[in-house]
């Protein structure tokens, strides 16, 4: 569904993307993870025609994004990091404008808008001004809008940023539902547990390059099953073990207080890059 080859982008002397290459298969729920400034949003902007690459190549469903950008836009849906709805229009009017921009006939626009408002459980707010919606409702409306024209690939750039845990879980269920319907999902997130729960495969990017790509379980198993955090006068240090008994023995012999927990994706990212996901 998506193939990126040697993508490069600089802003002055800053290299946002430095030879980024990756592939996303049809039907995947793919998490694109990295610290702030790693190139995640830049990648999404380039793939959606909002920013120009310096060099490289990107194909979406075998269509080159430079050779036929309009065809690519029809193939993709985008939920941006920040809300970009028109607050002075109603929920239904926002979807209608989106459909018009994609050249959808009137009857089809109305049918698809009603279908996706029901899909994201906002049908009872169709006539409400967007500015009256809660943050979680606006996120769900942005997802409905991105799906209205029938894309095969959905980009979600920090879709749950700033939402409370209960609303985030509701968005997670919606994203899973979308993916099960056959839509390929390309997700960026600051919440490591979000990627662990949602993604069939994760890709770690750092300084504009891919440093690892595998299933969440495969990435974590590369470290072991258990992590031991030992707290000393100079800070904390983490060690990894395949067996909990070994981890417990290590704590007993360690010079300082410690705790045992399951290995997570952030452990893997720290080991690979020395930086936290953010």
Number of domains in the chain: 2
59 and 195 in a single domain? The answer is yes
- With 60 as the cut, is the pLDDT of residue 83 above it? yes
- Classified as helix, coil or strand, 81 is coil
186 and 228 in a single domain? The answer is no
pLDDT at 191: 87
Residue 146 lies in a domain: yes
What CA–CA distances, in Å, run from 165 to 212, 249, 261? Answer: 28, 35, 22
157 and 181 in a single domain? The answer is yes
254 and 172 in a single domain? The answer is no
Give every CB contact of residue 225 below 8 A, 6+ residues apart in sequence: 241, 242, 243, 244, 262, 263
Domain of residue 20: give its range. Answer: 2-219
237 and 118 in a single domain? The answer is no
- At 33-61, the pLDDT tens digits run 988 888 999 999 999 999 999 999 999 99
* Domain end marker among 202, 219, 236: 219
If we measure between CA atoms, which residue out of 85, 74, 69 comes closest to residue 150? 74
- At 180-202, the pLDDT tens digits run 999 999 999 988 889 999 999 99
Note if the pTM is more than 0.85.
yes
- At 235-261, the pLDDT tens digits run 778 999 999 999 988 888 876 678 899
- With 60 as the cut, is the pLDDT of residue 278 above it? no
Pairwise CA distance, residues 170 & 173, whole Å: 5
32 and 169 in a single domain? The answer is yes
153 and 246 in a single domain? The answer is no
152 and 258 in a single domain? The answer is no
Q: What is the mean pLDDT of the chain?
A: 92
Mean pLDDT of 98-122: 94
Residue 207 lies in a domain: yes
pLDDT at 275: 62
Residue 122 lies in a domain: yes
**Helix 135-147, helix 106-119: angle, nearest 10:** 140
Residue 257 lies in a domain: yes
Show the CA angle centred on residue 54, arms to residues 48 and 58, nearest 5°. 45
Q: Supply the CATH number for residue 62's domain.
A: 3.40.50.300
């Amino acid at each position: 569904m998506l193939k990126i080859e040697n993508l490069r982008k600089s802003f002055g002397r800053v290299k946002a993307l430095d030879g980024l290459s990756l592939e996303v298969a049809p039907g995947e729920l793919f998490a694109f993870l990295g610290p702030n400034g790693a190139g995640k949003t830049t990648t999404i902007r380039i793939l959606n025609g909002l920013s120009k690459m310096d060099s490289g190549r990107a194909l979406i469903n075998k269509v080159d994004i430079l050779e036929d950008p309009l065809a690519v836009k029809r193939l993709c849906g985008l939920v941006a990091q920040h809300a970009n709805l028109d607050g002075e229009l109603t929920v239904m009017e926002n979807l209608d404008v989106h459909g018009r921009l994609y050249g959808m006939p009137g009857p089809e626009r109305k049918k698809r808008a009603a279908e996706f408002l029901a899909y994201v459980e906002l049908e009872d707010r169709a006539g409400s001004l967007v500015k009256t919606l809660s943050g979680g409702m606006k996120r769900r409306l942005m997802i409905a809008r991105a799906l209205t024209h029938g894309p095969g690939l959905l980009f979600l750039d920090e879709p749950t940023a700033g939402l409370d845990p209960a609303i985030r879980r509701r968005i997670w269920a919606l994203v899973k539902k979308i993916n099960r319907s056959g839509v390929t999902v390309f997700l960026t997130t600051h919440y490591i547990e979000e990627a662990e729960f949602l993604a069939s495969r994760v890709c770690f990017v750092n300084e504009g390059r891919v440093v690892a790509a595998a299933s969440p379980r495969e990435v974590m198993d590369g470290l072991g099953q258990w992590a031991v955090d030992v707290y000393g006068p100079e800070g904390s240090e983490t060690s990894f073990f395949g067996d909990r008994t070994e981890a417990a023995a290590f704590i007993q012999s360690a010079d300082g207080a410690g705790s045992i927990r399951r290995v997570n994706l952030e452990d893997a990212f720290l080991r690979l890059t020395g930086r936290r996901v953010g």
